[in-house]
Amino acid sequence: MALCSVLVRTLAMGAAACALVGAFSGAPAAAASHTGEDHHYRGVVTAVNGLWLHARPTRDSLRIGFLRRGEIVSIRCAVRGDNVRGNPLWYLLTDGTWAWASARFIDNIGPAPRWC
């Protein structure tokens, strides 16, 4: 019986420690994934000659990366920016660098990204 109570106390302390680490690590709470706030959106690059990534959602901002046609990207959210061939939406990409890309050349895989 004593061994059982020691095991229960040890497990309880471990769970409490994990909860504290999660609270201070900046990791999202488990409940956030059920609210849709932590949803990950994806898309595929459709630009024949590839797609430049920008520092801001404008065509004249600093180019900070490049993607080839067919690459899959992770999208954080969407904003209105420079109009590119009739499409004013830009996506904030989270693939290793936080960069902006015109939504004109990215087809959504699944639901459209939320607004930033």
Domain count for the chain, please give it. 2
pLDDT of residue 96: 77
Checking if the pLDDT of 17 tops 90, the result is no
Residues 19 and 53 in one domain: no
Q: What is the pLDDT of residues 48-94, one digit of tens each?
A: 999 999 999 999 999 999 999 999 999 999 999 999 999 999 999 99
The string of DSSP codes covering 52-116 is EEESSSSTTSPEEEEE-TT-EEEEEEEEEEEEETTEEEEEEE-SSS-EEEEGGGEEEESSPPPB-
pLDDT of residue 10: 33
Report the CATH number that the domain containing residue 100 is assigned in CATH: 2.30.30.40
Residues 43 and 30 in one domain: no
Residues 94 and 57 in one domain: yes
Structure-model confidence comparison of residues 72 and 18, the more confident one: 72
pLDDT of residue 40: 84
Chain centroid to CA 61 = 21
pLDDT of residue 95: 78
pLDDT of residue 39: 64
Q: Flag whether the pTM goes above 0.75.
A: no
Note whether residue 52 is domain-resident: yes
Residues 18 and 44 in one domain: no
For the ranges 13-17, 62-66, 97-101, 112-116, the lowest mean pLDDT is seen at: 13-17
